Structure 1
Amino acid sequence: MNPYALLIDGKRVETASHAEVKNPSTGDTVGLMPLATPEQLDLAVEAAARAFKTWSRTADAERKRACHAVADIIAANQEELALLLTREQGKPLNGLGSRFEMGGTLAWTRYTADLTLPVEILQDNNEGRVELHRKPIGVVGSITPWNWPVMIASWHIIPAIRAGNTVVLKPSPQTPLSTIRMVELINQVLPPGVVNVITGENSIGAALSAHPGIAKMTFTGSIETGKKVMASAVATLKRLTLELGGNDAGIVLPDADPKQIAQGLFWGAFINNGQTCSALKRLYVHDSIYDAVCEELVAYAGTIAIGDGQDEASILGPIQNEMQFNKVSELVEDARTRGGRILTGGARMERPGYFYPITLVADVDHGFRLVDEEQFGPALPIIRYSDIDEVIDRANSLPVGLGGSIWSSNIEKARELATRLECGIAWVNKHGAIQPNAPHGGIKQSGIGVQFGVEGLKELTVAQTVLS
C-alpha cells in the first residue's frame, strides 16, 4: 500500500512515519496518513507566507479564474474522490452521501469564486473621499473535521484564497486521505504554496493553531477543541472563525401534519447518519400529535437501507469511528435505563464495522444525557410538550446555539417563533438545509463568526479605511 504524502509548496513531501486510516465499515486499511513533524509544519507555513506575497497582489479577476479552475479539476475527478471519501468516512456513495458531498463541494466552490468585495465609497464630496477596502489577512490555518471532510475543506480553502490569502490545512486524522488527494489536484491549477496540507494526530493541529506565522485560524469541530484553538490564538491575536458543536432543537406545533413532516424530520436528524453539526438532535412534539409523529418516524425509518457505503443500495452507513460509536451507545443505554422508550433500534447491529441502527427514543426529557448532550450519531430523543412558550425556553436553555427549527402548517406563525430560537440559523418546516449565499454560524458556545456568502468572505479579510 502506497503511503500518502504532505503537500508543501506545490510538492509532495514524504514523512518518516505514517498511521493507518481504517474503513469504518470493514476495519480494512484504506491508506497510510503521513505524520508531519513540527519542522515540516514550519516549512508549510513558510511556503504559504512566500506565496502570499504574490497571491495577495494577484488581480481579483485572476483569483476568480483560479477558483473556477479548482472547481473544474475537482469536477473532473469527483468520482475518484467520492469513492475514497466513502472508504475512509463510511458514508454511502448514493443518497446524501459522498457524491452528494462532492456536489456540495463544487456548488460552494463555484458560487464563492464569483463573489467580490468591491471598494466601498463611504464619502465623496468637497470635504474629501473615504474608501473602505477589504484586504487579505495572510496565512490562514485550517483544521477540518471527519464528518464532511472534503466539503468543509472547500468551505475553508476557497473563500480564503478568493480573498487573496494562502492556506495551511490540517484535516482530521480519521479522514485525511480524500483531503490530501483534493489538495494534490488543486495544486495542479494553483501557484505553489497557495494551498498546503499537513496531516498527523491532534498535536500537529495544536502546533498549527499556535504557530506565529498563522494570521487567522478557521476551525470546524468540537466545542472543547475550539476553546483550545481560541486559547492558542491569544499570544498573536489571531483572527478566528469557529464553527463548533450544537444540540439543535426542532419544535413541532400541534397544527403540523405528521405524515407530511416525517420525511423532513427524519433527514433533518439523520443526514450523514446524524454526524452533522447542524443536524436535528432534540425533537419536541406537542402532546396532541406526539404519538402520531413517533409512528410516522418509525415507519419512515423502516424504509432506509443501512450498509457498506460502497454498496450502491445503501442509504446510510456506519458511525465513522469507535469513540463516536461508543458515545452514541452510552447515551442510548442511559436513556433506556432511565425509562426512555426505544421505538426502533437501540443496539449494535450484528455485523463488522461501527454499524448502529437508526434509533428513536420516546418519553425522555431534560436531564437525560441523550437530550442534554450532543449525540452526533443516529439516535434521536423525542420530547413531549404542551406549552409553546415553555418549550421555546427549554429549547434555548442549553449553552449552545447552532441551529433550530419550527414545524407547522402556519408559516407566518412558524417564522415568528423561529426568531425566538437562540441559534445562528433557524428553519421553518426543514432542518439542516444550508446554501452558499446564506451565512451560517453559531452563537453562544457554538462558535464565533460566520461562513458562506459575502459575510463569510469578509471574515477572510481585514478592513482598511483610506481617506483622501
Structure 2
Amino acid sequence: MPTATTFPVIDPATAAPFIDAPLARLADVDAAVAAARRAFPGWASTPIEERARAVLAVADAIEAAKDELAALLSREQGKPLVSAGGEIMGALGWARATAALRLPVDVIKNDDSVRIEVHRKPLGVVGSISPWNFPVMIAIWHIIPALVAGNTVVMKPSSYTPLAALRMVEIANAHLPPGVLNSLTGEGDIGRAIAGHSGIDKIVFTGSTPTGRSIMASGAANLKRLTLELGGNDAAIVLPDADIDKIAPKLFLKAFMNSGQICAAVKRIYVHESVHDALAEKLAEMARAASVGPASDPGNQFGPVQNRMQFDHVCALADEAKAKGGRFLAGGEPMGREGYFFPLSVAVDVSDGMRIVDEEQFGPVLPIIRYSNVEDALARANASENGLGGSVWSADVEGAIALAQRLECGTAWVNDHASISPDVPFGGAKQSGVGVEFGLYGLEEYTQLQTVRIAKV
C-alpha cells in the first residue's frame, strides 16, 4: 500500500543507506486488513482451478522479472547475485508445485443411512511476517499456499530487506483481484499490529523463537491459527566410520551457504575423536579458501552478515569462545572493512556451555565438538530448546537411520542436511516452531476442517 513516509534501507556491504522504503502507519494495517476481508468471499468462492491458474500466472510474471528481482535482492540482502537468482528460481519452483496441490474431500462413511464427508475450507485473512535471510523465497512459502487454499493475505517483509518482496507483490497483483494480496513495510510495531489484529485469522511467521512467542501471545486474543517456523541450532553427528573426504564438502555447504544465515543450516558438528582433527582441518581449509566480499564483485562466493545486530551477535559468540579456550582454525575475527563482513570461521576446542555451541549463530561461524561416545553425542545434540533439524553422517546407512530417528527434531537427515522440497512437510519440534509448511500437510494448515453429515431420508 502507498504510504506518506519512508525509512532507509541499509546495504550490508557498506553499512550505509542506499534507498528509502515506504513506512506504514498503524492505520495502514487496518486499511490492508479491511481490503483483504472485502476480497475474501469472492476469492474463496473462486474455483481452485482458477486460483491455481492465477498463481501460475504470478509465477510466470515473476520469472519474467527475475533479473530485476535478483538485483534488488542481492543489494539489500548482501548475497551474491548468482545466489539471489537461485533464490528467485527456487521461489518459482515452490509456487508452481504448490499450485498443483489439491486437498481431497475425505469420505468417512457412506452407507444406507448417512454420508459423512470431511472438507477443507479457507480460513479468511492470513497475516504473513517474513524474515531477511530469504526475503522472496520465504514470502512465497507463506503467500502461495494461502492463496491456493482460498485465503487473502496481508504480508509484511522484514524492514531490513523490503524491496524485492514489495516488487514481487506489485508484480503479483497484476494477476490477482484487488485486495487478495496486500503488503505493508515498517518496523516492529507493524508486525505486532498484524499479529494482534482481530481481522486476521491466521499468522504465518518465520524468524526467531522470542518473536514467535510474542506472536503466539498476541494471536491468543482471537485464537488465531499459527504456523511458526522458528530458531534452529541444528546438530550434525559424524560417526567414526564416516568417509571424511566425501562428507566434508557437503557439510561445508550445509553449514555456510547464505553465509550461515539459514534456520536449518548445520550449526554445530559433533565429531568422533578418531576423525575430529581430519574433518576440522578439511572444513577449515575450505573456509580459508572461500572468497567473502561484496556482491558487486562476481568473484565473491559469500556475502556479508545481513545487519548490524546479527553481525554484533556473531562477533560476540566468537569472542566468548576464544576467551574460554576455543581456537579458530579459520576466521574468528571481523574482516576489518566497511560493511558487516565476517569470514567463514571454524572453531575447535569448544563444547557445550559455550555460547557458540548453545546459541544459534545464524552467521558464518561453525563450532566442531569432539566426542568419544555416541550416546553422549546424541544426548548433547538433543540438549537444546531448539528442534528444527539434525543429521547423522556415517557409512552405515541403516545404523545412521536408527540414530537419526532418536534426534529430537522436525526433520532428520542421513548423510545430508537442510535439503528441502515443496512436496515434503517441514517444521520444528520443541521451541523451533508450531505447525508445518510445504506439501499437502502444509496446505492443510491454511484451512479449517469442516465435517458434513448428510442423512439419507
TM-score of the two chains, using structure 1 as the length reference: 0.96
Q: How big is the shift at 1:99? A: 1.1
Measured in 2, the distance between the counterparts of 1:91 and 1:446 equals 25
Which residue of 125, 132, 138 maps to 1:139? 125
When structure 1 is superposed on structure 2, of 442-451 and 405-414 the one drifting more is 405-414
- Alignment partner, residue 62 of structure 1: 50
Give the one of 292, 298, 302 matched to 1:316: 302
1:117-132 matched pairs, under 5 angstroms = 117-132=103-118
- The alignment partner of 2:21 has SS state of strand
* Residue ranges of structure 1 left out of the alignment (5+ in a row): 1-5, 7-12
Q: Which residue of 2 aligns with 1:10?
A: none
* One-letter amino acid matched to 1:152: I
Opposite residue 27 of structure 1, the aligned amino acid is A
Name the counterpart of 1:265. 251
Indicate the percent of aligned positions where both proteins have the same amino acid.
Answer: 55
Matched, 1:110 2:110: no
Q: Which runs of 5+ in 2 are unaligned?
A: none
| Deviations 1:325-352, CA, capped at 9 Å, x for gaps | 0000000010001000110101111321
Partner secondary structure for residue 45 of structure 2: coil
Deviation at 1:291, TM superposition (A): 0.4
Matching residue's letter, 2:333: A
Residue 397 of structure 1, CA deviation:
0.6
- Give the Cα–Cα distance (whole angstroms) in 1 for the partners of residues 146 and 215 of structure 2: 18
Q: Which residue is equivalent to 1:413? A: 399
Cα distance, 1:56 vs structure 2: 0.3
Q: Residue 260 of structure 2 corresponds to which residue in structure 1?
A: 274
Pairing 1:157–2:139 present: no
Match for residue 159 of structure 2?
A: 173
Q: C-alpha deviations, 1:239-289, integer Å up to 9, x for none? A: 000000010000000001111111111111111101111111011000000
**Residues of 1 paired with 2:118 and 2:385: CA distance?**
36
Q: Is contact 1:217-1:241 (8 Å) kept?
A: yes
**Partners of 1:47 and 1:400 in 2: CA distance:** 37
Offset of residue 16 of structure 1: 2.3
Q: Report the residue type matching 1:273 in the other structure.
A: S
Distance (Å, rounded) in 1 between the aligned partners of 2:450 and 2:297:
53
Which residue number in structure 2 is paired with residue 86 of structure 1? 74
Are 1:328 and 1:377, in contact at CA under 8 Å, matched by a contact in 2? yes
Pairwise CA distance, 1:415? 1.1
The yes-or-no answer on 1:74 pairing with 2:62 is yes
- 1:279-298 aligned at under 5 Å gives the runs 279-298=265-284
Is 1:451 aligned with 2:418?
A: no
Counterpart of 2:188, as a letter, is N
**Which of these residues, 22, 38, 60, is aligned with residue 26 of structure 2?**
38
Residues 137 and 462 in structure 1, CA contact (< 8 A), matched pair in contact too: yes
Deviation at 1:28, TM superposition (A): 4.0
TM-fit CA distance, 1:100: 1.3
Shift of 1:305: 1.3
Contact 2:285-2:330 at 8 Å conserved across structures: no
Return the alpha-carbon distance in structure 2 between the equivalents of residues 296 and 49 of structure 1: 55
Q: CA deviation at 1:376?
A: 0.6
3-state SS of paired residue (2:289): coil
Distance of 2:146 and 2:438 partners within structure 1: 11
Contact map agreement 1:31 1:177 (CA 8 A) in 2 = no
Give the SS at the match of 2:352: coil
Q: Secondary structure at the match of 1:280?
A: coil
- Is the CA contact 1:90–1:320 (under 8 Å) kept in the aligned structure 2? yes
Tell me the amino acid that sits aligned with residue 80 of structure 1.
E
Instruction: Specify the code of the residue in structure 1 equivalent to 2:25.
Output: T
2:35 maps to 1:47: yes
Residue of structure 1 in register with 2:12 after alignment: 24
Distance 1:287 1:127 in 2: 67
2:277 pairs with 1:304: no
* SS at 1:355 equivalent: coil
Any idea what SS the aligned residue of 2:81 has? coil
Alignment check: 8 A CA contact 2:284 2:345 kept: no
Please tell me whether the aligned partners of residues 196 and 218 of structure 2 are also in contact (alpha carbons under 8 angstroms): yes
How many angstroms apart in 1 are the aligned matches of 2:270 and 2:425?
26
Q: Does residue 1:101 correspond to 2:87, yes or no?
A: yes
SS at match of 2:220: coil
| CA distance in structure 2 between the partners assigned to 1:222 and 1:27 by the alignment | 23
- Given the alignment, which residue of 208, 228, 233 partners 1:242? 228
3-state SS, counterpart of residue 377 of structure 1: coil
How far apart are 1:311 and its partner, in Å? Answer: 1.9
Give the match's secondary structure for 2:269.
strand
* 8 A contact 1:102–1:151 mirrored in 2: yes
Aligned amino acid, residue 170 of structure 2? E
Look up the SS of the partner of 1:80 in the other structure.
Answer: helix
Contact 2:105/2:119, CA 8 A, preserved across alignment:
yes
- Deviation of 1:301 after TM superposition, in Å, equals 1.8
Equivalent position of 1:194 in the other structure? 180
The one-letter amino acid paired with 1:409 is A
Task: Look up the match of 2:169.
Answer: 183
Aligned length: 454
SS at match of 2:329: strand
Secondary structure class of the residue paired with 1:270: helix
Task: Give the alignment partner of residue 232 of structure 1, picking from 208, 218, 232.
Answer: 218
Please report how far the alpha carbon of residue 302 of structure 1 lies from its aligned counterpart in structure 2 after TM superposition: 2.9
> Whole-Å Cα distance in 2 between the matches of residues 112 and 73 of structure 1?
16
My pick for the range that moved more, 324-333 or 29-38, is 29-38
CA contact (8 A) 2:350 2:367 kept: yes
Give the secondary structure class of the aligned counterpart of 2:136.
helix
TM-score (structure 2 length as normaliser): 0.98
Q: Residues 349-428 of structure 1: matches in 2 within 5 Å?
A: 349-428=335-414
Contact 1:406 1:417 in 2 (8 A): yes
Q: Distance in 1 between matches of 2:15 and 2:276?
A: 40
Contact 1:146 1:175 in 2 (8 A): yes
- 1-structure distance, mates of 2:165, 2:178: 17
